[in-house]
Chain A
Amino acid sequence: MALLEVQSLQKIYTTRFGAQKVQALTNVTFTVEAGEFVAIMGESGSGKTTLLNILAALYRPTTGQVLLEGRSFADVKESEKAAFRRDHLGFVFQDFNLLDTFSVRDNILLPLVLQNKPLDEMERRLTPLVTKLGLQGLEAKFPYEISGGQKQRTAVARALITEPRLLLADEPTGALDSKASAKLMRMFEDVHRSGQTLLMVTHSAQAASYASRVLFIKDGEVYNQIYSGNAGRDAFYQRIIATLTALSDGGVAGD
């Protein structure tokens, strides 16, 4: 059984007075196996963010459903949604979303504190994670004292500390320079190798080339998907670029 099953998702936004309808997702179907690192690419307005928000259980799809380990999101009660997200999913955002009132250490521990985990368990999980993400010595610092790359790694640590089934990343390199981006993606690769399932939405072919599979979305549908195979990252990068070119050259579905 796949870890995540996305079945014919459709999302239609209605303007406030119902006069106009905007179709963000037409028909999206795919699955993610446990241990996979999937990147989703697409142009602005292709429906990436809508898809991610549905996967994050923040939005409800108009039709279709999402299953995590066979359990449908629709079956999760509204009152349990927050706990469900907190316990099963990890999030990394483009603009880090760190709380400026917390130190790096406290930002990372935040989800565990919300889960009411005992103090020694927090410590036990924190130490290896800090080492893995290269945050040693920064624990007592505050978000305004560290670099963008360090902020994003703090956010990744915060997402991973709950040991989520699935890590969702929304343009994680969007606010980083190329050096910090490369460093972050290498860490994603490490995390992936240690068995973590990741799903990342990105604009950057460079970032996507670290994934094991890339899905392309256009006009609210899965347009194509390619696997990295064994040819190495550079070759995969070239194939992603080629697909993107084909994607933008391909006919427009109509206005």
Chain B
Amino acid sequence: MTKLIYFRLALTNLWKNRQTYLPFLLASTLLTFTQYSFLMITFNPGLSKVHGGMQFQVILTLGIVVVSLFSAIFLFYANGFLIKRRKKEMGLYSILGMEKKHIARVLLHELSLTWLFSMALGIGLGILLGRLMFLLIRLAIRIDVPLVGSVNLPAVWITLGLFAVLFLLLILCNTWQVRSVDPVELLRGGRTGEREPKARWFLAILGVLTMGAGYWLAQRVQNPMAAIALFLVAVVLVIVGTYLMFLSGSIALLKLLKRHKRYYYSSRHFVTVSGMLYRMKQNAAGLASIAILCTMAMITIGTTVGLYNGSEKMLSEYYPSDLQVTFADEAALRDAQALNATFARQAGVSVTDAHAFTGYEAAFAIDHETVLPSSALTYASMNDYGKMHDALLMTQDTWAALEGEPLNLAPDELALWTTAAQRPTALTVGSRRFSLRYLESLPVVPCMSHGSAITKSYIVVPDAAAIRSILEAAQATADDQAPVYTLQCNVQGDRATLERYYAAIETQATDWKDHSLRIKGNLREEWYAMHGGFLFIGIFLGFIFLMGTALILYFKQISEGYQDHDRFIILQKVGMSNDEVRATVRRQILLVFYLPLAVAVCHVAGSLHMMILMLQLFGLMDVPYIALNTFAAALGVAIFYWLFYRQTAKTYYRMVKF
């Protein structure tokens, strides 16, 4: 009987506070839905057996971890906000004779109900949309996921368990909140006198420094390996900097403006500056979170969309030709050339751009215009990674035969095509010194036996002796001292003929010794699985970040609305006209609205250099393309933000209206 009372009390409370609890419930439902969907797809029994399925599972696991972390942070934030708002109500309960443990029990029932609702809705939605999700994966990501039923018991249990733990922690947190405050104070709630915020200069300066350090780091890195290693450091620095800047920097700035009397005591700035001071005190953390979440949404969506759309471009960076085979001896190459022509004829495909050439592959470092073995670098500085080269060496005769254009190199001259950023004018190799001529275009892109994230270079030498000097200076292994014989070609045909052709090659390849066979089509499947997987969770996570932004924005507006209502009534009584009040409200709102968005765009712009380097690791080299994608994503997020803001602003104006 008494249990039923708590239950009913909890239910009416949720209903009465629906203005704030409904968004909370929606958010928790959406998080549940995402978590269940990720789990359900990961546990799809056939997924690991299809091509690219493994990669997709790994990426999904990453997504599950991110969603779990985000759920924890988010639920705690929202719950804290809701409890703070309801302190007065709790105080009233205790005045009416409820003990603290009773209040805690009501809160427990409320959270249990919320958990139950969001589990039922979230998992229900996940089951309902499961089929659609599988279809989406098949179509967009091109993974042949088996279309199995979307009720997956392990996924259900894990989702239930995970959120049960989170809600249990929330319940503990609420119980502690109720117990640690006395009833009179509860009744007063947040109404205790607001102190004017103090400018904490030390923290403000620290904020500028950490933010500056993050940006500096992001601009200074010069190669992908360094970017990967320093990315997390830069992100943490910028996040800490953003919070400090919002918390202390904004207040310090406003205090400075206030001290400037001629600025402060004017009708345009007087109310705005002092209003902003209090607004920043209450909302700095929320605004900083919005800025960070917007940044994350922009970067996540921007990079994953860019990666997915750029897959084809990247494939040709790695594999310039549809088919490439390398051999250790020339006879094998000649055999393969003949066989290839035969297979193509039998299968009915046409072969174009077929080339065969001899080269040497070596990895070394170029430091201070000198070729060194890669082991000579300490890698203490991250930029040492940028000095490493993966090179294909060719004599100028081979080059002329392959590219169809003689270079006519001088005896002490090298020609170089490279992706490296640094371009020395001369190069010392052992005891010899060469001048360098840079090649800007490659009519035929020669294939190398391994594509990598390290700088790719083609070096054309005047004679065979120069190749030996370079290999010696690089301290190449015995394997690398030997020449590599490469056959590469493009193949056209319909799906069936191509399959027949590649099957013949692959069967034949089992008989080849010391060879390496690379078929672009196979890599394409793996890549689409991986990049499609990134895209899939990127868009999901992007939406979750946006949802977080939306909820914080909504809560912020509501909590400010009531206070501002009183404040603006006074201003009107003192002689401010309706229009003036409205203009002031609008000015403050716009400031608060644009600030996080501007900061987010700034962060995205600042991170761009680092993103470009990191995407190079995946083989995406097209800088304008990456920039375009990122800013398209930023624009999309900004539009969403604006739309949502307009909606919440309506609620806000309704509250402030007099």
Contacts and interface: CB of A to CB of B under 8 A. Distances in A.
Interface of A: 79, 81-83, 85-86, 91, 93, 97-103, 106, 109-111, 113-116, 119, 122, 142, 144-145, 158
Given A83-B575, A144-B193, 7 more contacts: A82-B575, A99-B274, A100-B194, A100-B567, A101-B567, A106-B274, A114-B574
A101 B573 contact: no
Given A101-B274, A102-B274, A113-B270, A144 B194 contact: yes
Contacts of A82: 572, 575-578, 580
A122 B193 CA distance: 28
Closest 3 CB pairs of A and B: A86-B575, A144-B193, A82-B577
Contacts of B196: 101, 103, 142
Interface residues of B, number: 26
Contacts of A115: 267
A223 to B, nearest CB: 29
Contact of B262 (A116, A119, A145): A119
Nearest to B279: A101
B574 A83 contact: no
23 contacts: A81-B577, A82-B576, A82-B578, A86-B574, A91-B573, A97-B573, A99-B570, A101-B196, A101-B277, A101-B567, A102-B274, A103-B196, A106-B270, A109-B265, A111-B574, A111-B575, A114-B576, A116-B267, A122-B265, A142-B196, A144-B195, A145-B193, A158-B574
A contacts with B: majority SS: helix
Contacts of B644: none
Contacts of B278: 101
Contacts of A86: 574-576
A116 B574 contact: no
Interface string B288-304: 00000000000000000
A114 B262 contact: no
Contact of B571 (A79, A99, A116): A99
Given A114-B267, A116-B267, A142-B196, A97 B570 contact: yes
B275 to A, nearest CB: 6
Most chain A beta-carbon contacts within 10 A, residue among B265, B572, B575: B575
Contacts of B567: 99-101
A79 B577 CA distance: 8
A70 B274 CA distance: 39
A64 B312 CA distance: 83
Most chain A beta-carbon contacts within 10 A, residue among B262, B567, B572, B577: B577
Contacts of A83: 575, 577
A98 B567 CA distance: 9
Given A102-B274, A119-B262, A144-B194, A114 B570 contact: no
A116 B573 contact: no
Contacts of B266: 113, 116
A106 B264 CA distance: 10
Nearest to A155: B574
A93 B575 CA distance: 13
A127 to B, nearest CB: 15
Most chain B beta-carbon contacts within 10 A, residue among A97, A111, A115, A145: A97
A106 B261 CA distance: 11
Most chain A beta-carbon contacts within 10 A, residue among B194, B196, B265: B265
Interface string B193-211: 1111000000000000000
B575 A113 contact: no
Contacts of B577: 79, 81-83
Contacts of A81: 577
Contacts of B261: 119
Contacts of B574: 86, 91, 97, 110-111, 114, 158
Nearest to B269: A113
A139 to B, nearest CB: 14
A158 B571 CA distance: 12
Interface string B231-272: 000000000000000000000000000000110011100100
